Amino acid sequence: MELRAKEEERLNKLRLESQGSPETLTSLKKGYLFMYNLVQFLGFSWIFVNMTVRFFILGKESFYDTFHTMADMMYFCQMLSVVETINAAIGVTKSPVMPCLIQLLGRNFILFIIFGTMEEMQNKAVVFFVFYTWSTVEIFRYPFYMLSCIDMDWKVLTWLRYTVWIPLYPLGCLAEAVSVIQSIPVFNETGRFSFTLPYPVKIKVRFSFFLQIYLIILFLGLYVNFRHLYKQRRRRYGQKKKKIH
Protein backbone atom coordinates (compact mmCIF):
# COMPACT_ATOMS: atom_id res chain seq x y z
CA MET A 1 0.00 0.00 0.00
CA GLU A 2 2.86 2.33 0.82
CA LEU A 3 4.57 1.60 -2.50
CA ARG A 4 1.31 2.12 -4.36
CA ALA A 5 0.74 5.48 -2.61
CA LYS A 6 4.26 6.61 -3.51
CA GLU A 7 3.73 5.56 -7.13
CA GLU A 8 0.43 7.47 -7.35
CA GLU A 9 2.09 10.52 -5.81
CA ARG A 10 4.90 10.32 -8.38
CA LEU A 11 2.41 9.99 -11.26
CA ASN A 12 0.37 12.95 -10.00
CA LYS A 13 3.52 15.02 -9.75
CA LEU A 14 4.50 14.14 -13.32
CA ARG A 15 0.98 14.94 -14.52
CA LEU A 16 1.06 18.37 -12.88
CA GLU A 17 4.50 19.09 -14.35
CA SER A 18 3.32 18.13 -17.83
CA GLN A 19 0.19 20.24 -17.56
CA GLY A 20 1.92 23.17 -15.90
CA SER A 21 1.02 24.75 -12.61
CA PRO A 22 -1.62 27.52 -12.54
CA GLU A 23 1.07 30.05 -11.61
CA THR A 24 3.20 29.03 -14.62
CA LEU A 25 0.24 29.27 -17.02
CA THR A 26 -0.69 32.69 -15.65
CA SER A 27 2.88 33.91 -16.08
CA LEU A 28 2.99 32.62 -19.66
CA LYS A 29 -0.31 34.31 -20.48
CA LYS A 30 0.86 37.62 -19.00
CA GLY A 31 4.15 37.38 -20.88
CA TYR A 32 2.37 36.65 -24.15
CA LEU A 33 -0.07 39.56 -23.69
CA PHE A 34 2.74 41.90 -22.65
CA MET A 35 4.73 41.12 -25.81
CA TYR A 36 1.66 41.46 -28.04
CA ASN A 37 0.77 44.87 -26.58
CA LEU A 38 4.41 45.96 -26.76
CA VAL A 39 4.64 45.14 -30.48
CA GLN A 40 1.38 46.98 -31.21
CA PHE A 41 2.50 49.96 -29.13
CA LEU A 42 5.80 50.19 -31.03
CA GLY A 43 4.03 49.90 -34.38
CA PHE A 44 1.45 52.60 -33.73
CA SER A 45 4.06 54.80 -32.04
CA TRP A 46 6.19 54.59 -35.18
CA ILE A 47 3.22 55.72 -37.26
CA PHE A 48 2.28 58.53 -34.85
CA VAL A 49 5.81 59.91 -34.48
CA ASN A 50 6.57 59.76 -38.21
CA MET A 51 3.32 61.46 -39.15
CA THR A 52 3.86 64.18 -36.55
CA VAL A 53 7.46 64.86 -37.65
CA ARG A 54 6.49 64.88 -41.33
CA PHE A 55 3.67 67.32 -40.62
CA PHE A 56 5.97 69.78 -38.82
CA ILE A 57 8.56 69.55 -41.62
CA LEU A 58 6.34 69.40 -44.70
CA GLY A 59 3.12 70.95 -43.43
CA LYS A 60 -0.01 70.17 -45.44
CA GLU A 61 2.08 68.51 -48.14
CA SER A 62 2.49 65.52 -45.81
CA PHE A 63 -1.27 64.87 -46.02
CA TYR A 64 -1.16 63.61 -49.58
CA ASP A 65 1.50 60.88 -49.34
CA THR A 66 0.55 59.49 -45.94
CA PHE A 67 -0.62 56.19 -47.40
CA HIS A 68 2.57 55.56 -49.34
CA THR A 69 4.79 56.21 -46.32
CA MET A 70 2.70 54.66 -43.52
CA ALA A 71 0.61 51.94 -45.16
CA ASP A 72 3.03 49.03 -44.65
CA MET A 73 3.22 49.55 -40.89
CA MET A 74 -0.53 50.16 -40.66
CA TYR A 75 -1.17 46.95 -42.60
CA PHE A 76 1.04 45.08 -40.14
CA CYS A 77 -0.66 46.53 -37.04
CA GLN A 78 -4.17 45.99 -38.33
CA MET A 79 -3.50 42.41 -39.44
CA LEU A 80 -1.96 41.73 -36.03
CA SER A 81 -5.06 43.16 -34.34
CA VAL A 82 -6.90 40.00 -35.43
CA VAL A 83 -5.08 38.35 -32.51
CA GLU A 84 -6.80 40.77 -30.11
CA THR A 85 -10.25 39.62 -31.23
CA ILE A 86 -9.20 35.96 -31.04
CA ASN A 87 -7.91 36.51 -27.49
CA ALA A 88 -11.28 37.93 -26.48
CA ALA A 89 -13.18 35.11 -28.22
CA ILE A 90 -11.26 32.25 -26.55
CA GLY A 91 -11.13 33.89 -23.12
CA VAL A 92 -7.47 34.87 -22.96
CA THR A 93 -8.60 38.41 -22.16
CA LYS A 94 -11.78 39.65 -20.51
CA SER A 95 -12.59 42.09 -23.33
CA PRO A 96 -16.06 41.61 -24.88
CA VAL A 97 -15.89 40.14 -28.36
CA MET A 98 -18.39 42.42 -30.13
CA PRO A 99 -16.62 45.80 -29.64
CA CYS A 100 -13.29 44.20 -30.64
CA LEU A 101 -14.86 42.66 -33.75
CA ILE A 102 -16.61 45.90 -34.76
CA GLN A 103 -13.38 47.89 -34.54
CA LEU A 104 -11.39 45.20 -36.36
CA LEU A 105 -13.83 44.87 -39.28
CA GLY A 106 -14.46 48.61 -39.53
CA ARG A 107 -10.81 49.62 -39.64
CA ASN A 108 -9.79 46.82 -41.97
CA PHE A 109 -12.63 47.65 -44.36
CA ILE A 110 -11.40 51.24 -44.59
CA LEU A 111 -7.73 50.25 -44.85
CA PHE A 112 -7.90 47.30 -47.22
CA ILE A 113 -10.98 48.09 -49.34
CA ILE A 114 -11.37 51.88 -49.43
CA PHE A 115 -7.67 52.82 -49.39
CA GLY A 116 -5.90 49.62 -50.38
CA THR A 117 -7.78 48.78 -53.58
CA MET A 118 -8.24 52.31 -54.95
CA GLU A 119 -5.13 54.27 -55.93
CA GLU A 120 -7.31 57.36 -56.39
CA MET A 121 -8.03 57.34 -52.64
CA GLN A 122 -4.43 56.89 -51.54
CA ASN A 123 -3.43 60.47 -52.36
CA LYS A 124 -6.29 62.12 -50.47
CA ALA A 125 -5.77 64.12 -47.29
CA VAL A 126 -8.42 62.11 -45.43
CA VAL A 127 -5.93 59.22 -45.15
CA PHE A 128 -3.80 61.39 -42.84
CA PHE A 129 -6.68 62.09 -40.47
CA VAL A 130 -7.84 58.46 -40.38
CA PHE A 131 -4.34 57.13 -39.63
CA TYR A 132 -3.60 59.87 -37.12
CA THR A 133 -6.75 59.33 -35.05
CA TRP A 134 -6.23 55.56 -35.04
CA SER A 135 -2.60 55.80 -33.92
CA THR A 136 -3.31 58.47 -31.28
CA VAL A 137 -5.87 56.25 -29.56
CA GLU A 138 -3.59 53.21 -29.62
CA ILE A 139 -0.43 54.82 -28.23
CA PHE A 140 -2.31 55.21 -24.93
CA ARG A 141 -4.36 52.02 -25.00
CA TYR A 142 -1.59 49.48 -25.58
CA PRO A 143 0.87 50.73 -22.91
CA PHE A 144 -2.04 50.72 -20.44
CA TYR A 145 -2.57 47.03 -21.23
CA MET A 146 1.17 46.40 -20.97
CA LEU A 147 1.31 47.81 -17.45
CA SER A 148 -1.81 45.85 -16.51
CA CYS A 149 0.04 42.65 -17.41
CA ILE A 150 2.68 43.40 -14.77
CA ASP A 151 0.13 44.72 -12.25
CA MET A 152 1.21 48.35 -12.55
CA ASP A 153 -1.13 51.33 -12.58
CA TRP A 154 0.21 54.68 -13.77
CA LYS A 155 -2.58 57.13 -12.97
CA VAL A 156 -1.80 59.59 -15.78
CA LEU A 157 -1.74 56.84 -18.40
CA THR A 158 -4.90 55.28 -16.97
CA TRP A 159 -6.73 58.60 -17.15
CA LEU A 160 -5.57 59.14 -20.74
CA ARG A 161 -6.65 55.62 -21.73
CA TYR A 162 -10.16 56.22 -20.37
CA THR A 163 -10.46 59.82 -21.62
CA VAL A 164 -8.66 60.30 -24.96
CA TRP A 165 -11.23 58.20 -26.82
CA ILE A 166 -14.02 60.71 -25.99
CA PRO A 167 -13.00 63.22 -28.69
CA LEU A 168 -10.95 60.85 -30.87
CA TYR A 169 -13.51 58.11 -31.52
CA PRO A 170 -16.12 60.48 -33.02
CA LEU A 171 -13.38 62.28 -34.98
CA GLY A 172 -12.04 58.97 -36.28
CA CYS A 173 -15.54 57.85 -37.23
CA LEU A 174 -16.11 61.15 -39.04
CA ALA A 175 -12.83 60.77 -40.94
CA GLU A 176 -13.77 57.22 -41.92
CA ALA A 177 -17.20 58.42 -43.10
CA VAL A 178 -15.57 61.15 -45.21
CA SER A 179 -13.28 58.56 -46.81
CA VAL A 180 -16.26 56.36 -47.68
CA ILE A 181 -18.21 59.31 -49.13
CA GLN A 182 -15.20 60.39 -51.20
CA SER A 183 -14.77 56.85 -52.51
CA ILE A 184 -18.35 56.47 -53.78
CA PRO A 185 -17.87 58.41 -57.05
CA VAL A 186 -14.52 56.65 -57.57
CA PHE A 187 -16.12 53.21 -57.28
CA ASN A 188 -18.97 54.34 -59.55
CA GLU A 189 -16.51 55.56 -62.18
CA THR A 190 -14.29 52.48 -62.14
CA GLY A 191 -17.07 49.93 -61.60
CA ARG A 192 -14.87 47.98 -59.21
CA PHE A 193 -16.69 45.37 -57.11
CA SER A 194 -19.93 46.12 -59.00
CA PHE A 195 -21.80 43.19 -60.54
CA THR A 196 -24.86 42.35 -62.62
CA LEU A 197 -27.56 40.03 -61.32
CA PRO A 198 -28.21 36.97 -63.54
CA TYR A 199 -31.09 36.55 -65.98
CA PRO A 200 -33.98 37.37 -65.85
CA VAL A 201 -33.25 40.26 -63.46
CA LYS A 202 -30.12 41.67 -65.15
CA ILE A 203 -29.82 44.60 -62.79
CA LYS A 204 -26.39 46.12 -62.21
CA VAL A 205 -25.63 46.46 -58.52
CA ARG A 206 -23.06 49.13 -57.82
CA PHE A 207 -20.64 48.73 -54.94
CA SER A 208 -21.52 52.29 -53.91
CA PHE A 209 -24.93 50.96 -52.80
CA PHE A 210 -23.18 48.82 -50.16
CA LEU A 211 -21.02 51.78 -49.18
CA GLN A 212 -24.12 53.81 -48.40
CA ILE A 213 -25.38 50.98 -46.20
CA TYR A 214 -21.94 50.79 -44.58
CA LEU A 215 -22.20 54.46 -43.58
CA ILE A 216 -25.25 53.59 -41.46
CA ILE A 217 -23.45 50.57 -39.97
CA LEU A 218 -20.41 52.76 -39.27
CA PHE A 219 -22.33 55.08 -36.97
CA LEU A 220 -24.17 52.18 -35.33
CA GLY A 221 -20.77 50.65 -34.58
CA LEU A 222 -19.63 53.96 -33.14
CA TYR A 223 -22.63 53.91 -30.81
CA VAL A 224 -21.87 50.35 -29.63
CA ASN A 225 -18.18 51.05 -28.98
CA PHE A 226 -18.86 54.48 -27.44
CA ARG A 227 -21.39 52.93 -25.08
CA HIS A 228 -18.96 50.15 -24.14
CA LEU A 229 -16.10 52.59 -23.46
CA TYR A 230 -18.38 54.92 -21.51
CA LYS A 231 -19.40 52.04 -19.23
CA GLN A 232 -15.73 51.17 -18.72
CA ARG A 233 -14.91 54.75 -17.78
CA ARG A 234 -17.90 54.98 -15.48
CA ARG A 235 -16.84 51.82 -13.66
CA ARG A 236 -13.35 53.23 -13.28
CA TYR A 237 -14.17 56.82 -12.33
CA GLY A 238 -17.83 56.62 -11.37
CA GLN A 239 -18.81 59.01 -8.61
CA LYS A 240 -19.68 57.34 -5.37
CA LYS A 241 -23.11 58.16 -4.09
CA LYS A 242 -23.01 60.31 -1.03
CA LYS A 243 -24.49 58.75 2.04
CA ILE A 244 -27.50 60.53 3.43
CA HIS A 245 -27.23 60.94 7.17
Active site residues: 169, 176
How far is the C-alpha of 83 from the C-alpha of 230, rounded, in Å? 24
How far is the C-alpha of 245 from the C-alpha of 241, rounded, in Å? 12
Four-CA torsion 118, 122, 124, 127, nearest 10 degrees: 110
Sign of CA dihedral 151, 153, 157, 159: positive
Instruction: Kindly list the distances between the CA atom of residue 117 and the CA atoms of 34, 84, 192, in Å, as whole numbers in the listed order.
Output: 33, 25, 9
Query: Got the DSSP string for 173-204?
Result: HHHHHHHHHHHHHHHHHH-TT-EEPPTTT--E
